[in-house]
Amino acid sequence: MEAGGLLDSFIYGACVVFTLGMFSAGLSDLRHMRMTRSVDNVQFLPFLTTEVNNLGWLSYGALKGDGILIVVNAVGAALQTLYILAYLHYCPRKRVVLLQTATLLGVLLLGYGYFWLLVPDPEGRLQQLGLFCSVFTISMYLSPLADLAKVVQTKSTQCLSYPLTIATLLTSASWCLYGFQLRDPYIMVSNFPGIITSFIRFWLFWKYPQEQDRNYRLLQT
């Protein structure tokens, strides 16, 4: 196999493995909900926003004929649907969750209606859908900045996950390389903030070690 083909295969494989690994992180929340039969300490909004992100990129991949995007986001959307259904099952305040889910479905239907009915040109549809997916993914990567500001204020990284930070870095970097290989700016640019925020988290882990946080709490008690 030529060097270029080997590199492409490595990048494609990395995108699939790292992304599915990150999506599978929700399985720990699913296990927690099943064992405790509650949704304590489980956030619903990340499931919902990730579902929108997966369905958006799945549509983009289908329109573009990109098998990697289709497979990864189809599996991701199926997993997020499983997490959402489990949350609905165990959540005591079902009305609020159902309202949020119904709002999501309404937005998706309006979006699909716009892209498939009001944008007849396939190329224009692809560009507008790619722009939407890119902006939405960037907003997801930037949304935890409030948590990072809280870390600086409290000088504690207890609210951050080191394994998730590594997974985010590897996933973002692999998709950036994938977008670069395909000369697709929507894929490449949308994942670059994930690399930046991951390095910010690594710096915070270095500046405020979690072992130091534990020792500080012990001294306080």
Residue 220 forms part of a structural domain: no
Query: Which residue range(s) make up the domain with 158?
Result: 1-207
Residue 42 forms part of a structural domain: yes
Residue 109 forms part of a structural domain: yes
Rounded Cα gap, residues 135 and 112, in angstroms? 17
In 60-141, DSSP assigns E strands to none
Residue 218 forms part of a structural domain: no
pLDDT digits (tens, 9 = 90+) for 123-168: 888 888 899 899 989 988 887 777 777 788 888 877 777 888 888 8
Residue 221 forms part of a structural domain: no
Residue 194 forms part of a structural domain: yes
Confidence of residue 2 (pLDDT cuts 50, 70, 90): low
Query: In the prediction, which pLDDT does 211 show?
Result: 61
Backbone φ, ψ for residue 24 (5° rounding): -70, -10
Rounded Cα gap, residues 55 and 73, in angstroms? 7
pLDDT digits (tens, 9 = 90+) for 75-116: 999 999 999 999 888 888 888 888 888 888 888 788 777 877
Torsion angle defined by CA atoms of residues 120, 183, 12 and 116, in that order, rounded to the nearest 10 degrees? -10
Residue 22 forms part of a structural domain: yes
Is the pLDDT at 174 greater than 90? The verdict is: yes
Residue 107 forms part of a structural domain: yes
The mean-pLDDT minimum among 10-19, 146-155, 185-194, 200-209 falls in: 146-155
What's the structural domain count of the chain? 1
